[in-house]
Amino acid sequence: MGTWPVAISAEASDMSGWLVLALPGRAFMYGVSAIWTALSCAFGTLFNWSVIAKRLRRFTEKLRALTIPDFLEDRYNDKTHIIRAISTTIITIFMVAYVSVQLVASGKILSETFGWDYHSALILGFAIITFYTLLGGFFAVAWTDVFQGMLIVGILVILPIIGIIRLGGLGEIFSKVGQINIDALSPSFGYGGLFFLLFAFASMSWFFGYPGQPHILTRFMAIKDEKKIWNSTLIGMIWVIISLWGAVLIGIIGLSYFQGLPDPEKVMPLLAMHLLPEWAAGIVIAAITAAIMSTADSQLLVASSSVVEDVYHKLLNPKVKQKKLVLYSRISVLLLSVVAFLLALQGGVIYFLVAFAWGGLAASFGPLIILSLWWKRTTKWGAIIGMISGTVTVIIWDKFGIADMLAKSLSSELIIPGMLPAFFISFMLIIFVSLLSVPQKKVIL
């Protein structure tokens, strides 16, 4: 793919419903301090483009690797296929969890727009996203991401401007926010000392997830010419910075306007419906839906390719015809969508649901991708232990209540996401086990 499709597709598939629902909701609840989360995403994006993209593109071309499991298996010359089996399993688990979050987002936005109950809206969102993904492959998804991405960034610029004008300027908005909650005007949200450091570090933990997201990394692998990566970096960073600022501003403007909401993550569609004519609010709703779809389709394709390409084609039936592969891929997309739908039935807070799925991929693949590209001494067994330890730590931390227990012990509502400890545990174990195991004889670096 060329410069623009890679840049916009990578960022649109990254941000998802999290950008237009969860981040404004975060700003609605935490005010100016939501900037820490936005900064972590901006720096994480820059890290990916400047540190990961070029080397990943170069080495996957040398190895003729189409997927992340392809790259890892070839990088460590793993004839046993253990790395492929583990990485494929991890991708499938967390990508399905990630898709379920996009379905939750679709349920929220459609229920708010049309006044339906959540489950009816969820069924429609599931049908639209699944059918849409079945229609096209990787290139179709990437190009639709470009148009969806341009719509998203346009709305995230226009809606805050209209809100600022309609509410009497930024000064008036911040004055009202201060009356509602004075802590919302502070970058520390009223936390001091150690608690502020924990709050800022937890908010910025999203940074550590960027090198571990297969739906983003595959965009770097697909760029036509690695010399064009700088141009894609510039375009991608402009898109991300504008979008993140717009999302945070929408949350703050919404706080000054509504003062309180049962579900803060619905602040953007509600603000659009209150401040804009119906036709314009409809375009905003379309942009939110575009953000959801641009990520869900990418994640479904990555999960499907893990099952069909990385397992069935590479391990079970290397001589299968292309038409059958396409058919099996579509069946896989459908089945994975159904599983994601079942997970989405219980709903939840998008911010924390994404944190779990993002964190699982972050800890399982982030340290390994960095070390695989930059440290020759990384070994097969270091890679295996790193993936397993990252996955297990995130699941135990987030699903067995360790984050909640830690918050209670600190007498605070501060939640430390599992991706933070899991990332560093995985990173250290990869290095430790690699140093103890036999070095690889031939390394592509």
CATH of 3-346, picked from 1.20.1250.20, 1.20.1730.10, 3.30.470.10, 3.30.930.10, is: 1.20.1730.10
Residue-level pLDDT at 141: 67
Contact 430, 385 (CB under 8 A): yes
Per-residue pLDDT at 133: 81
* Backbone φ, ψ for residue 317 (5° rounding): -145, 75
Q: What pLDDT is stored for residue 272 in this prediction?
A: 93
pLDDT of residue 59: 92
DSSP 186: S
pLDDT means per 10 residues in the chain (445 residues)? Answer: 83 83 93 94 95 93 89 93 94 90 89 88 89 72 77 92 94 94 91 85 91 90 86 93 95 93 91 92 87 79 84 83 84 91 87 88 96 95 97 90 74 77 96 94 75
Distances (CA, A) of 240 to 58, 114, 137, 160, 244: 25, 30, 25, 16, 6
Q: Where are the domains of the chain?
A: 3-346
Torsion-angle region of 374 (φ positive above 0: left; ψ -120 to 50: alpha; else: beta): alpha
Distance of CA 403 to the CA centre of its chain: 20
pLDDT at site 140: 64
Contact 48, 212 (CB under 8 A): no
Q: What is the pLDDT of residue 88?
A: 92
Say what the pLDDT of residue 411 is: 59
Per-residue pLDDT tens for 174-191? 999 999 999 999 999 888
Q: Which residues contact 358 (CB under 8 A, 6 or more apart)?
A: 98, 206, 209, 213, 419
Q: How far is CA 359 from CA 90, 318, 356, 368, 409, in A?
A: 12, 33, 5, 14, 23
Which ranges constitute the DSSP H helices of 118-190? 118-135, 138-166, 170-180
